[in-house]
């Protein structure tokens, strides 16, 4: 399963052909903004985008981004609990 992860645009280049940088849970990642940039890349600064395989796929509002991050974090927590339980059951 492939998921998109919300990231906040923190740096952009002078045009859409240069990579931008997003903050994803405190980690900066380089992304391509060509699919979401319709004008000046600087207009994207501070915007939330859905990132998938290094591309900004769509714009998100902050509430949707925060809700998605919370859901992903809870999925990870549940996954860790399930891994722990399966090791106890098998052992």
In this prediction the pTM is 0.79
Neighbours of 47 (CB within 10 A): 20
Q: Which domain holds residue 67?
A: 5-90
Q: How far is residue 32's CA from residue 17's CA, in Å, rounded to a whole number? A: 8
- pLDDT-based confidence at residue 1 (cuts at 50, 70, 90): low
The count of structural domains within the chain is 1
The 10s digit of each residue's pLDDT in 54-77 is 999 999 999 999 999 999 888 876
Nearest in space to 31 (alpha carbons), one of 50, 3, 67, 73: 50
Q: Which two tokens stand for residue 81?
A: 């609990």
pLDDT of residue 67: 94
Q: Which two tokens stand for residue 80?
A: 């860790």
Q: How far is residue 26's CA from residue 41's CA, in Å, rounded to a whole number? A: 22
Per-residue pLDDT at 81 exceeds 70: no
Residue 37: which CATH number?
A: 2.30.30.140
Give mean pLDDT, residues 5-16.
95
pLDDT of residue 83: 52
């Amino acid at each position: 399963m492939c998921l998109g992860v919300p990231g906040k645009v923190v740096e952009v280049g002078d045009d859409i052909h240069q990579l931008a940088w997003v903050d994803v849970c405190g980690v900066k990642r380089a992304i391509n903004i060509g699919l979401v940039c319709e004008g000046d890349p600087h207009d994207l600064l501070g915007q939330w985008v859905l990132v998938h395989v290094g591309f900004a796929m769509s714009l998100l509002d902050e509430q949707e981004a925060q809700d998605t991050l919370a859901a992903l974090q809870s999925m990870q927590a549940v996954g860790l609990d399930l891994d722990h339980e399966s090791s106890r059951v098998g052992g």
